[in-house]
């Protein structure tokens, strides 16, 4: 660790100047200095004493436990520091060490040649000797050191990495670390210390020979005002004494010859070993370091101030003349001079490690100075003595506190003496130097010393101030300020250690080790200074403003830095911020002026001059072993960082770039490096938002502007970029605005933003022009990447995910000849889009990246690349430019190398002027919630001590919630094939059809992939009518009939269908192979276009081995279809035929008994052929007439064929088909009559089915609000229509072209009248009249059947009417028969008056037994016609119980009762009734012998009836 130049023990450090000799590389010189700094403390017991008797004044044998502390420095002190010698003798370097590299000199080659003799000379022929060039350079370098630094006592050159062999005098080798022991470098330092202690003896003797020494003088009068202004308010009266200073005059000047004559008599040795070896007894003048009379070096030694030199010369000459003249000087002045010399001698003993002798000299001299009222030197003696005691304490030695530490007549109390267990001695030699054996005694002494420090340091500063006021010995402001800072640091450390002066504190004071604050209670017995008093002490060192101060810029800066350091240790961060700001204002003008002056001297631009200087001067080591450039850069950056922290601008930790392993390999574990980078970005975003939310924004911006100006003045390109970025960051909004938000604009003016952007560009150009490594900063907006999403590729390359059951369903559909479109086909469901983003290995994918720029200048992105994890991913690098204040979208590409899970967490971005780093994705808007208490921002983030009684839970404040990063998770599948449409048999993918026409075309596909085959091919179809049907099917207001028609059109009238072949089942298309498919297309109305969807992929395994999901691609082939009208059904009608209609042609009789419907359709019952076996005369006609009107809409003649399917006998498999053909000309309408057998459907009221399995539910509530009668009528019409259409089939054909198709007959509609003509009732009622009982007397009487329903009967004859009830239904009927005789063709009143005309045997209404399904019941009723006429017998049958109730009564039959909704509707209609289609006509005639008369009477009765 580097030594503190403002430490309290600085007077005990012997300054050594390290300079390079010859060609030494920067890194090598730094390593050499580091080796020396590791042994900068030398114990006197390890040092060999000087053998010369007159050089034993500082012999190490007198105090072997002493230590020599070396301050190894690479810079020569400033003139203002050298002007303080010999008052502060430690300021001037007494040793100058030249360091050279043995490898560069190549001394080893010379040694191997064997030509080097003892003194480095090379033997030649003829007895000549010539110096080796390498040795000449060493000797010349040593001589140059002696000339350049004549005031130093020891000049020496060290040759590092060199073996022991003869070298020139004054040059010593230091082996390499590999060949060195642990004590090698320490031995070198001990030898140097031995020489130094020997040379210090004549130096000290020359000082002792002087009668007195001058005090340091100030160079200008305004300095006093500077010190006075820095004094506390209670010392302000000192400034009033300055008015009398101008009248004082200095002593007259004397001649230097007298002093030279006296000092020449002293036997002094030169500092160089060469002089000592050649003339050991030669007398010399004392070194110039003693009094500063000798001239400075001609080259590197800086000159001292002329005013100081003149004042010192005059004072010395005056003192010499007065002391040795005739009159003599008073005893007071002699003692004063003796005391001053003794103080300097004591300081030299302190530097030499002879602390007991130092204390002896200092105490004696301090006593003399106090008696002589020499305030300045008295204070310095107390200062040196305090340092000696601290060195005793650090070396763990006993010591006694001198009485001079107590002001005035005050002595140490008896209690203190007793507690310390130390025997007070009047002998000054016993004041210290023995090893402490009693820890309690040592602790008591240290505590006593700590209790005196506050008063002692205050007394020393007061003595300095008194000397300024009452004497002409005025301490320069630099020494006063440094002393105040040293004392403030000492007392601050004691204060932070709770009043303890222990080994930890002492090591920190002497060796500048790390010091930890003590949290224990303060001791009551210790007189500690409070923090405000310590701050006031530090502010006493505050220098006067630069225009009125004699301090240099460097000294002014050092003093301010020391004050800031003390305030920082005390925790006064705001006061420290004020000092640091003043420090920046001090440095900035000086740096700018130095830049201009350097440019003027070099004749170049200011930026180029200092940049070249920085590039050329590198690696001058500092105390900690680092190079000067590194120290200056890190030191200045650290200083500016401290300034920013003091004003609430906390530093942000840089985020390193997540490097790729070969740019295509990443970590196999997701969320590894990316997680750390994301967390760091979130922490930075929270921290920056917190910083911007608290404190004065204007003050922060002002500080950052000063930092930029300071870095530009150095120039420090990296610092200028860093703080330009910090200013942009501090002036930004630190939020992630939403898409519609306008709160993201920064607080900086637009002009300043543009200026900063130009400054960054200009800095980069300057660095590139000078050939420097490009400096980089952190980008100023954490929310650069606002979104990453996969760009949807074209449909042919998009992947669709499927589950294994979906493939099984599709294969089942493909296996069926008749496809059911209502079975779920997952490959046609476009709505079930890709739930996850899918990529294909080894195929390039594109990503849409959204970038944000909230500033009013362009952001140049040198390259941007996707950052991935989980799989090897090869991304492309792009360069782009983001415009001012906008959100911009760019496209990046990348190729996954393997299958698996891929995670895109952000982008690796390199912004111009900024370091490359990873930016996570922030998609959601975010803004920091205001922290009212301010617990997480600014100085509140620094840890503060908490008492032991505090609650640890309450002290843990919750951290604010940060933004949420978004990671794009992608699924990468294996390599997939890609197919294309090679050919299609349709020209231009278009086809023209007629309505009902079906044609076939072929499609040829080619696998364009060169490596992946295709083992899965599935074809699906879609057309314009399908979408319309789906829209219509989605309607909730459809009736069951309309729904069935739409479903029938979807199921049986598909526009496209694949013609499958056996070879297509295991189809595989090899890479580059082809496959041809046959497609059938059906023409129907509203078909305008269609698509063939080909789902294909590569499974690589059997379909049964698929575990979870598989992926396919789609190829959509569009088709254009034109459908023209052909034959259309215009209208239809059904007409009933009369009951006596007889067909002559037996082949024309058509029976529709065959069960040709699907199982879920009602099946008509077997109707016996006409006439029935047991019923010779049927009252109803078995046929009806179907009339259909057809129109030819095609401009060509078409031939129409109508087929009616039938079965001759249900038991025979032979099918007879009636075909009827006709020719229809263009535009003509022709009516076609078709004889159709009447139908009977036993379950005509069943619910209307649904062809969609999803709608086939048990309980279906009709959405239409219809009455039961309307519902039954609708169902009846539906079923009769379906049965009729299932038998009827019509086709058309164009003879000229051979084209043909089917005629659409689904437009046929049946009204209730048509249904009554077509259907047969469930219960057939027929009546026949016969004689009741044949009698022999009426043998000639007969009943004659005129037609199936008309009979001729005689009057006055017992007749019988037989009513036959035939149950056609599938359920039993419990009938109630009502017969209704009446007169024909009469009004109701006359027609029912039969009391005198007709007699009936029995009742006309009776309940009959239950008629089973398919059975008959015959009921005979006797009657007698009393008078001739026409009579009608009507019959009505009514159910006694409804068929549903009858089913309920039939328990134990093992059948479950139906609970269909349609049955409930039928139950609401009540009991059923049947009526005879035609009444039975009875014509009664009188029985006369005369046939003619009967005929005449019959004719009259007929006329009467008419």
∠ CA 986-988-994 to the nearest 5 degrees? 55
Q: Which residues contact 1390 (CB under 8 A, 6 or more apart)?
A: 1383
Name the packing angle between helices 477-496 and 503-511 (round to 10°): 150
Confidence of residue 676 (pLDDT cuts 50, 70, 90): confident
- Percent of the chain scoring above 90 in pLDDT: 29
Secondary element (H or E) of residue 642: helix 628-646
* Residue 909: per-residue pLDDT: 94
User: If you average pLDDT over residues 864-876, what whole number do you get?
Assistant: 91
Question: Over the stretch 432-463, which tens digit does the pLDDT of each residue have?
Answer: 667 766 788 888 888 888 888 999 999 999 99
Q: Which residues contact 913 (CB under 8 A, 6 or more apart)?
A: 721, 725, 760, 761, 763, 764, 776, 777
φ and ψ at residue 803, rounded to 5 degrees: -90, 160
On the question of pLDDT at 327 being above 90, the answer is no
On the question of pLDDT at 654 being above 80, the answer is no
On the question of pLDDT at 339 being above 50, the answer is yes
Question: Over the stretch 728-785, which tens digit does the pLDDT of each residue have?
Answer: 988 888 888 888 777 788 888 999 999 999 988 888 888 888 777 777 888 999 999 9
Taking residue 1226's Cβ as centre, other Cβ atoms within 10 Å add up to 12
State whether residue 380 is helix, strand or coil: helix
* Residue 1140: per-residue pLDDT: 61
Predicted model pTM: 0.63
How far is 249 from 1257, CA to CA, in rounded Å?
126
State whether residue 27 is helix, strand or coil: helix
| Rg of the chain over all Cα atoms, to the nearest angstrom | 62
Phi-psi region of 530 (alpha: psi -120 to 50; beta: other; left: phi over 0): beta
How do beta strands 95-101 and 13-20 pair? parallel
Residue 882 burial class via C-beta count within 10 angstroms: exposed 0-12, middle 13-18, buried 19 and up: buried
For residue 1303, give the nearest of 1239, 1235, 1221 by alpha carbon: 1221
Which of 349-353, 599-603, 1016-1020 is most confident?
349-353
User: If you average pLDDT over residues 1204-1216, what whole number do you get?
Assistant: 54
Furthest-apart CA atoms within the chain: distance in Å? 216
Task: Compute CA distances 1211 → 1155, 1159, 1167, whole Å.
Answer: 11, 19, 13
User: If you average pLDDT over residues 675-682, what whole number do you get?
Assistant: 82
Phi-psi region of 1356 (alpha: psi -120 to 50; beta: other; left: phi over 0): left
∠ CA 1479-1485-1488 to the nearest 5 degrees? 165
State whether residue 398 is helix, strand or coil: strand
* Residue 310: per-residue pLDDT: 43
What is the pLDDT of the chain when averaged over all its residues? Answer: 76
∠ CA 633-638-643 to the nearest 5 degrees? 130
Question: Over the stretch 1436-1458, which tens digit does the pLDDT of each residue have?
Answer: 999 988 765 444 443 444 434 44
DSSP 653: P
String of b and e for 676-715 (b: at least 16 CB within 10 Å)?
Answer: ebbebbbbbbbbbbbbbbbbeeeebbebbebbbbbbbbbb
Omega of the bond prior to 86 within 30 degrees of 0, cis? Answer: yes
* Residue 1442: per-residue pLDDT: 72
Enter the tokens of residue 881: 């430019």
Task: Compute CA distances 298 → 146, 147, 150, 295, 313, whole Å.
Answer: 11, 8, 10, 8, 21
Name the packing angle between helices 573-602 and 628-646 (round to 10°): 140
Minimum mean pLDDT range among 756-760, 839-843, 1347-1351, 1499-1503: 1499-1503
Q: Which residues contact 364 (CB under 8 A, 6 or more apart)?
A: 339, 342, 428
How far is 751 from 756, CA to CA, in rounded Å?
9
On the question of pLDDT at 233 being above 50, the answer is no
Cβ atoms 370, 378 nearer than 8 A: yes
Which is more confident, 526 or 1031? 1031
On the question of pLDDT at 1258 being above 50, the answer is no
Confidence of residue 361 (pLDDT cuts 50, 70, 90): very high
Question: Over the stretch 994-1030, which tens digit does the pLDDT of each residue have?
Answer: 999 999 999 999 999 888 898 888 888 889 988 888 8
State whether residue 704 is helix, strand or coil: helix
Question: Over the stretch 171-213, which tens digit does the pLDDT of each residue have?
Answer: 888 888 888 888 888 999 999 999 999 999 999 999 999 988 9
φ and ψ at residue 59, rounded to 5 degrees: -60, 135
* Residue 1226: per-residue pLDDT: 93
* Residue 258: per-residue pLDDT: 34
For residue 1234, give the nearest of 1327, 1152, 1347, 1135 by alpha carbon: 1135
User: If you average pLDDT over residues 318-335, what whole number do you get?
Assistant: 56
Task: Compute CA distances 686 → 727, 736, 854, 931, whole Å.
Answer: 17, 12, 18, 12
φ and ψ at residue 1115, rounded to 5 degrees: -120, 120
For residue 1364, give the nearest of 1181, 1179, 1182 by alpha carbon: 1179
For residue 695, give the nearest of 735, 647, 643, 646 by alpha carbon: 647
Strand partners, 1059: 1078
Confidence of residue 827 (pLDDT cuts 50, 70, 90): low
Strand partners, 1425: 1398
3-state secondary structure 918-970: EEECCCCCECCCCCCCCCCCHHHHCCCCCCCCCCHHHHCCCCCCCCCCCCEEE
Q: Which residues contact 919 (CB under 8 A, 6 or more apart)?
A: 681, 779, 782, 784, 785, 906, 907, 908, 909
Cβ atoms 710, 591 nearer than 8 A: yes
Q: Which residues contact 160 (CB under 8 A, 6 or more apart)?
A: 28, 32, 35, 99, 100, 101, 102, 174, 176
* Residue 1176: per-residue pLDDT: 42
Question: Over the stretch 1428-1438, which tens digit does the pLDDT of each residue have?
Answer: 899 999 999 99
- Percent of the chain scoring above 70 in pLDDT: 72
How far is 724 from 730, CA to CA, in rounded Å?
10
Minimum mean pLDDT range among 99-113, 928-942, 979-993, 1163-1177: 1163-1177
On the question of pLDDT at 143 being above 60, the answer is yes
Residue pointed to by tokens 């110039």: 288
* Residue 1216: per-residue pLDDT: 61
How far is 304 from 84, CA to CA, in rounded Å?
10
Confidence of residue 677 (pLDDT cuts 50, 70, 90): confident
Sign of CA dihedral 1457, 1460, 1462, 1466: positive
Confidence of residue 390 (pLDDT cuts 50, 70, 90): very high
How far is 1482 from 1479, CA to CA, in rounded Å?
9
Enter the tokens of residue 121: 């000379």
Q: What DSSP string runs through 729-774?
A: HHHS--SB--TT------SS-HHHHHHHHHHHHHHHHHHHHTTPPP
DSSP 73: E
For residue 1433, give the nearest of 1489, 1480, 1503, 1502 by alpha carbon: 1480
Enter the tokens of residue 434: 């023995």
On the question of pLDDT at 1336 being above 80, the answer is no
Task: Compute CA distances 699 → 583, 692, 754, 758, 842, whole Å.
Answer: 16, 11, 20, 23, 55
How far is 1322 from 1275, CA to CA, in rounded Å?
16
* Residue 785: per-residue pLDDT: 94
∠ CA 714-719-720 to the nearest 5 degrees? 80
Taking the mean position of all CA atoms in its chain, how far away is CA 104?
54
How far is 904 from 804, CA to CA, in rounded Å?
28
State whether residue 1215 is helix, strand or coil: strand
Cβ atoms 21, 613 nearer than 8 A: no
For residue 1218, give the nearest of 1159, 1151, 1133 by alpha carbon: 1151
* Residue 17: per-residue pLDDT: 93
């Amino acid at each position: 660790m580097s030594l503190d130049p403002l430490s309290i023990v600085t007077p005990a450090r012997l300054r050594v100047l390290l300079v390079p000799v010859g060609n030494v590389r920067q890194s090598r010189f730094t390593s050499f200095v580091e080796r020396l700094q590791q042994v900068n403390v030398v114990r006197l017991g390890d040092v060999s004493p000087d053998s010369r008797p007159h050089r034993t004044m500082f012999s190490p044998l007198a105090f072997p436990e002493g230590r020599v502390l070396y301050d190894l420095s690479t810079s020569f002190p400033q003139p203002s520091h050298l002007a303080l010698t010999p008052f502060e003798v430690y300021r001037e370097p007494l040793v100058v060490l030249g360091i050279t590299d043995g490898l560069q000199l190549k001394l080893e080659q010379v040694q191997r040649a064997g030509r080097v003799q003892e003194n480095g000379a090379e033997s030649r022929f003829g007895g000549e000797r010539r110096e080796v060039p390498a040795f000449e350079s060493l000797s010349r370098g040593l001589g140059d050191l002696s000339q350049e630094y004549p005031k130093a006592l020891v000049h020496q050159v060290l040759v590092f990495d060199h073996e022991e062999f003869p070298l020139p005098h004054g040059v010593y080798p230091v082996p390499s670390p590999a060949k060195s022991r642990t004590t090698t470098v320490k031995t070198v330092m001990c030898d140097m210390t031995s020489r130094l202690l020997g040379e210090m003896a004549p130096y000290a003797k020359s000082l002792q020979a002087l009668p007195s020494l001058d005090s340091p003088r100030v160079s200008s009068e305004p300095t006093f005002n500077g010190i006075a202004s820095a004094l506390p308010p209670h010392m302000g009266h000192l400034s009033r004494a300055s008015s009398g200073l101008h009248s004082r005059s200095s002593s007259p000047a004397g001649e230097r010859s007298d002093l030279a004559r006296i000092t020449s008599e002293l036997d002094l040795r030169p500092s160089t070993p060469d002089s000592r070896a050649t003339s050991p007894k030669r007398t010399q003048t004392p070194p110039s370091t003693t009094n500063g009379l000798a001239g400075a070096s001609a080259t590197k030694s800086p000159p001292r101030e002329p005013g100081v030199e003149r004042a010192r010369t005059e004072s010395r000459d005056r003192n010499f003349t007065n002391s040795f003249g005739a009159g003599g000087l008073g005893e007071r002045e002699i003692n004063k001079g003796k005391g001053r010399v003794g103080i300097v001698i004591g300081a030299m003993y302190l530097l030499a490690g002879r602390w007991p002798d130092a204390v002896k000299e200092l105490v004696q001299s301090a006593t003399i100075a106090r008696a002589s009222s020499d305030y300045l030197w008295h204070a310095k003696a107390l200062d040196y003595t305090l340092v000696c005691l601290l060195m005793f304490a650090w070396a763990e030695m006993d010591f006694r506190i001198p009485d001079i530490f107590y002001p005035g007549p005050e002595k140490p109390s008896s209690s203190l003496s007793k507690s310390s267990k130390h025997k007070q001695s009047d002998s000054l030699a016993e004041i210290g130097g023995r090893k402490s054996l009693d820890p309690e005694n040592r602790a008591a002494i240290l505590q006593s010393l700590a209790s005196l420090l506050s008063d002692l340091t205050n007394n020393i500063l007061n003595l300095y101030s008194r000397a300024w006021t009452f004497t002409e010995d005025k301490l320069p402001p630099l020494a006063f300020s440094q002393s105040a800072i040293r004392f403030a640091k000492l007392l601050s450390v004691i204060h932070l250690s709770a009043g303890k002066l222990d080994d930890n504190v002492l090591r920190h004071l002497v060796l500048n080790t790390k010091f930890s604050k003590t949290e224990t209670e303060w001791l009551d017995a210790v007189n500690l200074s409070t923090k405000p008093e310590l701050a006031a002490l530090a502010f006493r060192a505050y220098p006067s403003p630069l225009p009125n101060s004699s301090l240099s810029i460097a000294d002014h800066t050092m003093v301010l830095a020391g004050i800031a350091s003390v305030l920082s240790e005390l925790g006064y961060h705001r006061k420290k911020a004020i000092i640091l700001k003043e420090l920046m204002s001090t440095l900035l003008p000086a740096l700018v002026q130095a830049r201009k002056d350097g440019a003027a001297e070099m004749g170049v631009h200011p930026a180029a001059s200092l940049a070249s200087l920085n590039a050329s001067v590198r690696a001058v080591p500092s105390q900690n072993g680092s190079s000067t450039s590194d120290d200056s850069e890190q030191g200045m950056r650290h200083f500016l960082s401290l300034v920013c922290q003091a004003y609430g601008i906390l530093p942000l930790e840089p985020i390193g770039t997540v490097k790729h392993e070969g740019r295509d390999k990443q970590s196999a574990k997701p969320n590894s490096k990316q997680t750390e980078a994301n967390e760091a970005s979130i922490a930075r975003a929270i921290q920056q938002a917190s910083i911007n939310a608290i404190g004065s924004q204007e003050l922060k911006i002002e500080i950052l502007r000063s930092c930029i100006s300071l870095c530009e003045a150095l120039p420090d390109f990296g610092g200028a970029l860093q703080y330009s970025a910090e200013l942009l960051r501090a002036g930004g909004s630190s939020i992630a605005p939403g898409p519609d938000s306008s709160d993201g604009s920064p607080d900086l003016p637009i002009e300043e933003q543009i200026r900063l952007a130009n400054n960054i560009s200009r800095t980069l150009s300057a660095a590139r022009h000078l050939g420097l490594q490009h400096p980089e900063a952190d980008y100023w907006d954490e929310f650069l990447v606002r979104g990453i999403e996969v760009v949807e590729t074209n449909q042919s390359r998009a992947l669709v995910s499927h589950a294994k059951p979906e493939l099984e369903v599709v294969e089942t559909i493909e296996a069926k000849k008749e496809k059911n479109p209502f079975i779920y086909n997952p490959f046609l469901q476009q709505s079930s889009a890709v739930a996850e983003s899918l990529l294909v290995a080894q195929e390039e994918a594109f990503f849409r990246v959204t970038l944000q720029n909230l500033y009013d200048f362009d952001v140049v992105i040198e390259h941007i690349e996707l950052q991935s994890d989980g799989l090897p991913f090869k991304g492309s690098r792009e360069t782009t430019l983001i415009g001012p204040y906008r959100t911009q979208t760019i496209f990046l590409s990348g190729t996954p190398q393997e299958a698996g899970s891929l995670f895109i967490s952000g982008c690796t971005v390199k912004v111009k002027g900024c370091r490359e780093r990873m930016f996570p994705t922030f998609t959601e808007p975010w803004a920091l919630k205001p922290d009212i208490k301010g617990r997480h921002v600014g100085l509140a983030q620094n840890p503060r001590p908490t008492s032991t009684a505090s609650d640890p839970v309450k002290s843990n404040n919750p951290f604010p919630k940060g933004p949420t990063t978004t990671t794009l998770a992608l699924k990468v599948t294996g390599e997939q094939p890609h197919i294309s449409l090679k050919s299609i048999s349709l020209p231009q993918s278009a086809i023209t059809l007629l309505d009902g026409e079906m044609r076939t075309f072929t499609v040829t596909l080619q696998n364009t992939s060169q490596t992946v085959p295709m083992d899965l091919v599935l074809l699906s179809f879609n057309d314009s009518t399908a979408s319309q049907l789906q829209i219509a099917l989605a309607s909730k207001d459809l009736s069951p009939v309309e729904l069935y028609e739409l479903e029938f059109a979807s199921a049986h009238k598909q526009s496209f269908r694949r013609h499958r072949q056996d070879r297509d089942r295991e189809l595989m298309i090899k890479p580059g192979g082809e496959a041809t498919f046959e497609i059938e297309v059906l023409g129907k109305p509203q078909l305008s276009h269609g698509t063939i969807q080909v789902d294909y992929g590569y499974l690589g395994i059997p379909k049964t081995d698929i575990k979870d999901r598989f992926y396919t691609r789609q190829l959509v082939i569009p088709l254009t279809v034109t459908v023209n009208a052909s034959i259309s059904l215009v209208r239809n009608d059904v007409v009933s035929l009369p009951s006596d209609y007889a067909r002559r042609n037996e082949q024309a009789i058509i029976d529709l008994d065959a069960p040709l419907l699907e199982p879920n359709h009602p099946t008509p019952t077997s109707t016996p052929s006409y006439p029935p076996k047991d019923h010779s005369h049927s009252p109803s006609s078995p046929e009806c007439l179907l009339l259909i009107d057809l129109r030819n809409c095609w401009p060509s003649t078409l031939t129409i064929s109508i087929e009616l399917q039938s079965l001759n006998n249900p038991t025979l498999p032979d099918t007879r088909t009636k075909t009827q053909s006709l020719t229809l000309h263009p535009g003509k309408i022709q009516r076609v009559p078709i004889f159709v057998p009447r139908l009977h459907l036993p379950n005509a009221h069943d619910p209307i089915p649904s062809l969609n399995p999803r709608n086939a539910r048990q309980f279906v509530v009709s959405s239409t609000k219809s009455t039961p009668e309307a519902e039954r009528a609708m169902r009846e019409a539906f079923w009769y229509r379906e049965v009729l259409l299932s038998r009827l089939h019509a086709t058309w054909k164009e003879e000229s072209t051979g084209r043909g198709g089917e005629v659409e007959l689904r437009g046929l509609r049946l009204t209730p009248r048509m249904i009554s003509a077509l259907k047969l009732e469930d219960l057939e009622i027929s009546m026949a009249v016969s004689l009741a009982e044949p009698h022999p007397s009426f043998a000639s009487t007969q009943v004659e059947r005129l037609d199936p329903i008309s009979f001729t009967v005689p009057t006055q004859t017992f007749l019988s009417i037989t009513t036959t009830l035939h149950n056609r239904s599938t359920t039993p009927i419990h009938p109630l028969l009502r017969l209704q005789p009446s007169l024909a063709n009469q009004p109701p009143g006359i027609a029912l008056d039969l009391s005198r005309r007709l007699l009936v045997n029995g009742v006309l209404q009776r309940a009959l037994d239950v008629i089973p399904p398919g059975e008959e019941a015959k009921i005979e009723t006797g009657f007698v016609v009393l008078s001739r006429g026409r009579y009608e017998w009507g019959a009505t049958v009514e159910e006694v119980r409804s068929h549903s109730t009858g089913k309920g009564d039939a328990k134990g039959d093992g059948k479950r009762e139906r609970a269909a909704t349609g049955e409930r509707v039928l139950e609401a209609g009540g009991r059923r009734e049947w009526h005879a289609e035609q009444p039975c006509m009875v014509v009664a005639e009188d029985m006369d012998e005369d046939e003619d008369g009967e005929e005449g009477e019959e004719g009259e009765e007929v006329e009467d009836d008419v």
